[in-house]
Amino acid sequence: MTFNIGLVGCGGMGRRHAHGYIELRKYFDTVSMSAVCDVHPDVASAVAGEIGAATGVTPEIYTDFGDMLSNCDLDGVAIVTSTPMHHRFATQAMEAGLHVISEKPMGLTLKACRQMRDVSVATGKVLAVAENYRRDPMNRLTKALITNGAIGTPYFAIDIGVGSSNGAVMHSTVWRAKKEQAGGMPLDAGVHNADMLLYLMGPVGSVFAETSIFEPNRTLLPMNQVAPGLAAMYDHRKEEGYTTGDEVEQTAVDTAFGVIRFKSGAIGQLVMTDTSHGQALGVSTISGSKGTLYRPQSRSGQSPRIVTNDGNEVTGDALLDLVPEFVLDKTTSTLWDGARRISSYDMDFRLIDSKILAYEYMDMVQAAESGGQPEVGPEEGMEALALAYALFESGVRSEPVNVRDITDGSISSYQDEIDIQMGI
Ligand SMILES: NC(=O)c1ccc[n+]([C@@H]2O[C@H](COP(=O)([O-])OP(=O)(O)OC[C@H]3O[C@@H](n4cnc5c(N)ncnc54)[C@H](O)[C@@H]3O)[C@@H](O)[C@H]2O)c1
């Protein structure tokens, strides 16, 4: 039986989903992508054309999500639109009897996510979140090392993502500059960091953060100047109402410095900004009672590294001795050409990205077919979003917040305005 998926949102990430599907088809013939949808027909058509050229079957093209649902015999949809549409399309699809995989963040606010979760529970349809970082085999290895006590008891995690858009609009996508459409960079990008911290360190109790909008006046510059590594993925997308060189007001928080207390008692530091000039800094470490683990950049293929008290460094295949039970799951192993126990791998970013997306689709399809839950479902998607929003909510209140209060909606000051804009 073939599981038939329709893709909505064919911009930069939508194109990467198409590449993920093309990669998936090299290994599995039980999934098909028979329709794609974008409000811009030429954007949808560019992505459909790439799928057709690579797989021999060109998906049907739609410009209206409802039309795609009514006219196609779909089993599931992949939602890759800009974030404010995630909850609307997800609930519409599940109520029409389809399973869903939604890009991260699961929804734009916790209120939107709670609606999505409730519809998933009521309809029994899978709601998977395409949270990609944790699926990287090197992050699987990192998790196994921590779980196996390779650094002892984790004391603290440092996660610093200090980069610069150099005064430009992030990813040349105007919606990312707008609070009511993206929340802010520490959320849009930081939800990945949040998910990884939760994956590796366990649940969070409270967060204190300071936040700011340091660069409210931004310029729309071409993607090859802003993020050259991803420019090829975005060269077909359309930015309605703006042209290159336009000034754009940044209304979304662009900087957050947070301190986290995990329920285990460990402490975390999460710093996210795209306003640093003259300095880029990426630090991802976890320190424990026996040593410090240096996390490789997700999707780099590089090995984690552990440094112990005596300065001894363990990396590469020597790490595998610390995790004798570590083995990649069957789907990852298939996509990584049969690899079972690896401590690094050598592939370019685009291929790694595609393999991880292929994995995410298989995870959703397997959950749908088995009646189980995907690895990252509504609860995990909401937990990561709540941690990211805890930064903003604490920033608004100038006091620590309990993440549980963000998840259940008791604290929502930063999000209220966004919910009003979304009409929920
Ligand atoms: N997992 C990751 O690493 C990752 C990376 C980038 C983006 N994302 C997520 O993917 C989503 C899309 O981001 P992007 O960078 O591709 O943005 P984008 O602006 O390039 O693409 C969004 C596309 O959605 C289309 N769209 C908007 N409203 C629509 C509607 N009502 N019906 C049909 N199509 C509609 C737009 O025309 C556009 O082509 C966001 O939620 C973002 O957070 C995830």
DSSP letter for each residue of 330-387: HHHHHHTTT--S-S-----HHHHHHHHHHHHHHHHHHHHHHT---SS-HHHHHHHHHH
CA nearest neighbour of 79 among 101, 50, 49, 62? 101
Question: Whole-angstrom Cα distance, residue 189 to residue 179?
Answer: 14
Closest CA to ligand 1's atom 5 = 13
**Domains identified in the chain and CATH numbers:** 3-132+356-375 (3.40.50.720), 134-344 (3.30.360.10)
Calculate how far, in angstroms, residue 237's C-alpha sits from the geometric centre of ligand 1. Answer: 10
Calculate how far, in angstroms, residue 86's C-alpha sits from the geometric centre of ligand 1. Answer: 9
- Number of Cβ atoms within 10 Å of the Cβ of 371: 8
> In sequence order, which residues have a C-beta less than 8 Å from that of residue 74 and are 6 or more positions away?
4, 5, 6, 34, 35, 68, 98
Calculate how far, in angstroms, residue 11's C-alpha sits from the geometric centre of ligand 1. Answer: 5
Calculate how far, in angstroms, residue 15's C-alpha sits from the geometric centre of ligand 1. Answer: 9
CA dihedral 54, 60, 66, 69 (to 10 degrees): -80
Q: Is 150 in the pocket of ligand 1 (CB under 6 A)?
A: no
Calculate how far, in angstroms, residue 28's C-alpha sits from the geometric centre of ligand 1. Answer: 26
Distances (CA, A) of 276 to 163, 166, 271: 6, 8, 12
Question: Whole-angstrom Cα distance, residue 276 to residue 163?
Answer: 6
Strands 3-8 and 31-37: what pairing?
Answer: parallel
Calculate how far, in angstroms, residue 79's C-alpha sits from the geometric centre of ligand 1. Answer: 8
Q: Is 43 in the pocket of ligand 1 (CB under 6 A)?
A: yes
CA-131 nearest atom, ligand 1: 1
Pull the structure tokens for residue 211: 């936040």
Closest CA to ligand 1's atom 4 = 13
**How many helices (H) does the chain have, and how many strands (E)?**
16, 17
pLDDT in tens, the chain (424 residues): 899 999 999 999 999 999 999 999 999 999 999 999 999 999 999 999 999 999 999 999 999 999 999 999 999 999 999 999 999 999 999 999 999 999 999 999 999 999 999 999 999 999 999 999 999 999 999 999 999 999 999 999 999 999 999 999 999 999 999 999 999 999 999 999 999 999 999 999 999 999 999 999 999 999 999 999 999 999 999 999 999 999 999 999 999 999 999 999 999 999 999 999 999 999 999 999 999 999 999 999 999 999 998 889 999 999 999 999 999 999 999 999 999 999 999 999 999 999 999 999 999 999 999 999 999 999 999 999 999 999 999 999 999 999 999 999 999 999 999 999 999 9
Calculate how far, in angstroms, residue 141's C-alpha sits from the geometric centre of ligand 1. Answer: 30
Question: Whole-angstrom Cα distance, residue 384 to residue 350?
Answer: 25
CA-63 nearest atom, ligand 1: 33
Instruction: Report helix, strand or coil for 395.
Output: helix
Give the DSSP per-residue string, 99-117: EEEEESSSSSSHHHHHHHH
Longest dimension (CA), the chain: 65
> In sequence order, which residues have a C-beta less than 8 Å from that of residue 314 and are 6 or more positions away?
150, 305, 306, 307, 308, 322
CA nearest neighbour of 116 among 321, 339, 385, 313? 385
Q: Is 237 in the pocket of ligand 1 (CB under 6 A)?
A: yes
Question: Whole-angstrom Cα distance, residue 196 to residue 219?
Answer: 31
Pull the structure tokens for residue 349: 């970013």
For ligand 1, mutation pick of 16, 17, 36, 38 (most atoms within 8 Å of CB): 38
CB 130 within 8 A of CB 81: no
- The whole-number pLDDT of residue 309 equals 85
> Hey, which residues does 285 pair with through a beta bridge?
158, 294
Calculate how far, in angstroms, residue 238's C-alpha sits from the geometric centre of ligand 1. Answer: 11
Angle between the N-to-C axes of helices 12-25 and 41-55, in degrees from 0 to 180, rounded to the nearest 10:
20
Q: Is 50 in the pocket of ligand 1 (CB under 6 A)?
A: no
CA-40 nearest atom, ligand 1: 37
Q: Whole-prediction pTM value?
A: 0.98
Calculate how far, in angstroms, residue 153's C-alpha sits from the geometric centre of ligand 1. Answer: 39
Angle between the N-to-C axes of helices 349-370 and 12-25, in degrees from 0 to 180, rounded to the nearest 10:
70
CB 257 within 8 A of CB 187: no
Calculate how far, in angstroms, residue 101's C-alpha sits from the geometric centre of ligand 1. Answer: 13
CA dihedral 80, 85, 86, 89 (to 10 degrees): -100
CB 8 within 8 A of CB 80: yes
For ligand 1, mutation pick of 16, 103, 174, 188 (most atoms within 8 Å of CB): 103
Q: Is 102 in the pocket of ligand 1 (CB under 6 A)?
A: no
Calculate how far, in angstroms, residue 173's C-alpha sits from the geometric centre of ligand 1. Answer: 9
Question: Whole-angstrom Cα distance, residue 375 to residue 129?
Answer: 9
Closest CA to ligand 1's atom 21 = 11
Distances (CA, A) of 213 to 67, 102, 275, 398: 39, 28, 9, 15
Closest CA to ligand 1's atom 3 = 132
Q: Is 8 in the pocket of ligand 1 (CB under 6 A)?
A: yes
Q: Is 83 in the pocket of ligand 1 (CB under 6 A)?
A: yes
